[in-house]
Amino acid sequence: MNRDTDTKMSRLVEIMALLRSEAGCPWDREQTHESLRQHLLEEAYEVIEAIDQGRYEDLAGELGDLLLQVVFHAQIASEAGLFTMDDVIASINAKLVRRHPHVFGDAVIKTADEQTVHWEQSKMRKEGKKSAIDGVPRELPALVRAYRIQNKAAAVGFDWPDAAPVWDKIREEIDELKHAVEEASAEKIEDELGDMLFSVVNISRFLKTNPEDALRRTIEKFTRRFKQVEAVFATKGRTLSDATLEEMDAVWEEVKKKEKC
């Protein structure tokens, strides 16, 4: 961080302190760690959305909004005598050095996969983790949480040797889900559906594809195509409710063909 950046960061901390003071803003003074939780989450998702949409001209602003949340929480903690923004920065500095011994020490780590394994193992040794899969927030979206837990388990050797048995596991889980549906057991259906999804997340690791990113991309693709289908029928003075499934499917296929051209 150069001197100009350091000055701007200090200014941001000062602004936040003023906003929280008696001379500041009533809304800012009322906020707590708990009340800001949703704002923190929303700002993080807005950063992700800007990246997904390639709006890099907006990324600096979105990252600034996210940084504000960090400074906001640090200010609240400082007022309570817990820690300061300096402590937040010192903590991440120390962690980055500790977890990159191949950069700041003598360790030899040649690949990203080796670094991932080292990263997880160092947390077990030096950060007091009781389980290899500790540290994955329960509040994460389920796909992300499954992906992170599986990665942590794999880092200590709890993993398939290759993708072949994972494909077999997916087929097995599909069969078990079909059997649960035949039994008409809601509890078993939910359980087996969860097992199937967990297995699909597992294959995504071997394919080196983040399942959350893949699903978000598919959702966007479906949304885009569905709206185009609606638009086609609207030009004919019709809605989808007026159309047959065969008619909708025919237009859907046309939309897909145009996208692939």
Kindly state whether residues 37 and 82 are assigned to the same domain.
yes
Model confidence pLDDT, tens digit, residues 75-107: 999 999 999 999 999 999 998 998 888 888 888
pLDDT in tens, 24-61: 999 999 999 999 999 999 999 999 999 988 999 999 99
pLDDT at 111 exceeding the cut of 90: no
Average pLDDT over the chain, rounded to whole?
Answer: 91
Is residue 20, in this structure, part of any structural domain at all? yes
Q: Are the beta carbons of 204 and 214 closer than 8 angstroms?
A: yes
Q: Is residue 57 part of a domain?
A: yes
68, 54 contact by CB (below 8 A) = no
189: enclosing H helix or E strand: helix 186-206
Find all residues with CB under 8 Å of 23, minimum gap 6, and list them.
none
Query: Which pLDDT score is estimated for 128?
Result: 65
Could you give the CA distance from residue 212 to residue 56 in angstroms, rounded to a whole number?
21
* Pair 7, 50 in one domain: yes
Q: Looking at the structure, tell me whether residues 128 and 93 fall in a common domain.
A: no
Q: Does a structural domain hold residue 107?
A: no
- pLDDT of 123 higher than 80: no
- Lowest-pLDDT range, 7-16, 38-47, 71-80, 106-115? 106-115
The residue range of the domain holding 236 is 213-260
173 to 110, 151, 166, 195: CA distances (angstroms): 36, 20, 10, 6
Shared domain for 55 and 41, answered yes or no, is yes
- Quote the CA–CA distance of 144 and 76 in Å, as a whole number: 29
Task: Answer whether residue 249 is part of any domain.
Answer: yes
Query: Based on the structure, what is the number of domains in the chain?
Result: 3
246 and 191 housed in the same domain: no
Decide if 171 is inside a domain. Answer: yes
**Domain at 124, CATH number:** 1.10.287.1080
Amino acid letter, 254 = E
Residue 107 confidence (pLDDT):
82
